[in-house]
């Protein structure tokens, strides 16, 4: 039985931002690099606009504003009353939850560790280092060791000096623990999947992130000998997930009560359509204004990060897709069940990396590479789905 919609249905297909997202990302890369070159003080000043606790920058105000604008349009669409009914589609939802939370984070860690820490280690540079934020609440002396990092003074501020490849690994981890809750609606539609089921899975994953994102992130960062800022990680969930989720829930109820469901769906949501991606692109300009120097001095850096991310995306897709065939799901349920794990929640991953490790960190760069390869890779998987519909029962 098809699941009822867990969010409000929207007009189908790709708008201009979604259809040409890779092009927009490339333009943001160029714009960010140019900004960093001609006005280096601007991104630095924006990065310093933060909420400080005990003298340490904890929440970047520009990033927090951008992420709220990214997440609110997604969260306001969720109809929580329908999420309760998701049990009617037990197999595809169970498969999605298993792949997303019991498999995907660990395969991402293993694949990234192999490529970045072994195969590409020599290319990245054994002596290459990155400077990341000190974990929230810690005031360690210069020279202290924490995980794979050493406390140093960098431009007059205490930072952790870590191997650069480990910083890239951190970004990959943050992508691996964040299943998509936005663009998967588009991928599912293009693959001719079950829209209602896709919407319910989006709602469930948004709620599940509140419980598992911090736990899995902290665990895997710790295994990777990276600084685990538990307080900041939990705070990031509160600011970047719980806050827009609560705002979306309350404003949805208020607007529908005041203006009616028809006005909400046809007017209000229509105005919000481009907001998520525009806010994402604005964040990318800021990130690349910091990362431009790294990219220009070593352009192959993007390739070293992109390869494990591409392999991970395909692995998770095929794992979900083949498992759906074994479970004898219908194609319209199998396609979105595989897509939601393969795609990543780019907005949360980018914001969390910037908050935990800094806008100029290798971790932030790795999450941005995830944006760069997401659209072409997922469009390729959509085409695979359409060509293999005959594998599944009608």
Residue 131 counted as domain residue: no
CA distance 328 to 392: 7
- Secondary-structure percent of the chain, ordered helix, strand, coil, rounded to 5: 70, 10, 20
- 321 or 184, which is more confident? 321
Residue 159 counted as domain residue: no
* CA-derived radius of gyration, the chain: 20
Query: What is the domain extent for residue 304?
Result: 16-125+165-388
Residue 112 counted as domain residue: yes
The residue-averaged pLDDT of 16-44 equals 77
The predicted structure's pLDDT at residue 10 = 45
Alpha carbon distances (Å) from 119 to 108, 113, 125, 172:
15, 9, 11, 16
Residue 140 counted as domain residue: no
CA distance 352 to 330: 36
Q: What is the pLDDT of residues 86-140, one digit of tens each?
A: 556 678 888 988 999 999 999 999 999 999 999 999 888 888 888 877 666 667 7
Residue 50 counted as domain residue: yes
Q: Which tokens go with 19?
A: 């259809």
CA distance 386 to 189: 11
The residue-averaged pLDDT of 280-304 equals 75
Res 11 pLDDT > 50 = no
φ, ψ for residue 132, nearest 5 deg: -120, 165
The count of other CB atoms within 10 Å of the CB of residue 204 is 20
The predicted structure's pLDDT at residue 192 = 82
Q: Which tokens go with 225?
A: 């000998």
The predicted structure's pLDDT at residue 66 = 79
Burial code (b: 16+ CB inside 10 Å, e: under 16) for 40-54 equals eeebeebbeebeeee
Res 172 pLDDT > 50 = yes
Paired with 344 in beta bridges are: 179
- Give the residue from 1, 124, 118, 106 showing the smallest Cα distance to 341: 106
Query: What sign for the dihedral angle of Cα 337, 319, 215, 220?
Result: negative
33 close to 290: Cβ distance less than 8 angstroms: no
The CATH number covering residue 27 comes to: 1.20.1530.20
The residue-averaged pLDDT of 31-50 equals 79
The predicted structure's pLDDT at residue 18 = 62
Percent of the chain at pLDDT > 70 equals 78
The predicted structure's pLDDT at residue 130 = 84
Q: What is the pLDDT of residues 213-264, one digit of tens each?
A: 878 888 888 776 665 556 666 666 677 667 887 888 899 989 999 989 889 8
Classify 341 as helix, strand or coil: helix
320 falls in which pLDDT band (50, 70, 90)? very high
For the chain, what is the domain count?
A: 1
- Give the residue from 284, 289, 290, 340 showing the smallest Cα distance to 317: 340
Residue 139 counted as domain residue: no
Element (H, E) at 60: strand 56-60
The predicted structure's pLDDT at residue 9 = 47
- 159 or 120, which is more confident? 120
Where would I find the H helices in 298-343? 301-326, 331-342
Q: Which tokens go with 248?
A: 């979306």
Paired with 129 in beta bridges are: 163
319 falls in which pLDDT band (50, 70, 90)? very high
Query: What sign for the dihedral angle of Cα 301, 114, 349, 46?
Result: negative
Q: What is the pLDDT of residues 326-364, one digit of tens each?
A: 999 989 889 988 988 898 877 778 777 877 787 778 888
DSSP line for 104-129: HHHHHHHHHHHIIIIITHHHH-TT-E
Q: Which of 33-42, 84-93, 316-325 has the lowest mean pLDDT?
A: 84-93
168 falls in which pLDDT band (50, 70, 90)? very high
CA distance 220 to 203: 25
The predicted structure's pLDDT at residue 230 = 61
The predicted structure's pLDDT at residue 300 = 84
Residue 308 counted as domain residue: yes
CA distance 233 to 223: 16
The predicted structure's pLDDT at residue 293 = 67
User: How does the average pLDDT of the chain come out, rounded?
Assistant: 79
Residue 242 counted as domain residue: yes
């Amino acid at each position: 039985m098809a699941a009822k919609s867990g969010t409000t249905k929207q007009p189908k297909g790709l708008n201009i931002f979604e259809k040409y997202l890779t092009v927009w990302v490339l333009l943001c890369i160029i714009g960010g690099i140019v900004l960093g070159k001609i006005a280096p003080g601007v991104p630095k000043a924006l990065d310093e606009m933060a909420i400080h606790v005990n003298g340490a920058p904890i929440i970047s105000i520009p990033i927090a504003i951008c992420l709220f604008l990214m997440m609110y349009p997604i969260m306001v669409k969720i109809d929580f009353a329908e999420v309760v009914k998701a049990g009617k589609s037990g197999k595809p939802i169970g498969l999605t939850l298993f792949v997303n939370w019991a498999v995907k984070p660990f395969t991402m860690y293993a694949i990234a560790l192999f490529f970045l820490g072994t195969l590409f280690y020599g290319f990245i540079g054994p002596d290459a280092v990155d400077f990341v934020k000190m974990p929230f609440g810690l005031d360690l002396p210069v020279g202290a060791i924490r995980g794979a990092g050493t406390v140093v003074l960098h431009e007059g501020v205490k930072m952790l000096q870590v191997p650069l490849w480990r910083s890239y690994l951190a970004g990959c981890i943050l992508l691996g623990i964040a299943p998509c809750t936005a663009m998967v609606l588009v991928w599912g539609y293009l693959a001719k999947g079950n829209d209602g089921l896709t919407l319910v899975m989006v709602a469930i994953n948004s709620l599940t992130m509140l419980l598992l994102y911090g736990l899995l992130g902290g665990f895997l960062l710790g295994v990777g000998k990276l600084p685990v800022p538990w307080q900041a990680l939990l705070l990031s969930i509160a600011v970047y997930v719980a806050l827009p989720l609560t705002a979306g829930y309350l404003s949805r109820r208020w607007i529908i009560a005041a203006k009616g469901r028809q006005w909400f769906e046809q007017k209000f949501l229509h105005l919000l359509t481009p907001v998520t991606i525009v806010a994402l692109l604005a964040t990318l300009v800021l990130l690349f204004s910091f990362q431009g120097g790294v990219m220009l001095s070593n352009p192959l850096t993007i390739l070293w990060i992109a390869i494990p991310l591409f392999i991970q995306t395909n692995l998770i897709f095929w794992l979900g897709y083949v498992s759906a065939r074994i479970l004898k799901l219908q194609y319209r349920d199998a396609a979105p069940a595989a897509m939601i794990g393969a795609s990543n929640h780019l907005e949360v991953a980018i914001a969390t990396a910037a908050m935990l490790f800094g806008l100029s960190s290798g971790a932030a760069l790795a999450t941005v590479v995830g944006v760069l390869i997401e659209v072409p890779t997922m469009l390729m998987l959509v085409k695979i789905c359409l060509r293999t519909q005959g594998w599944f029962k009608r």
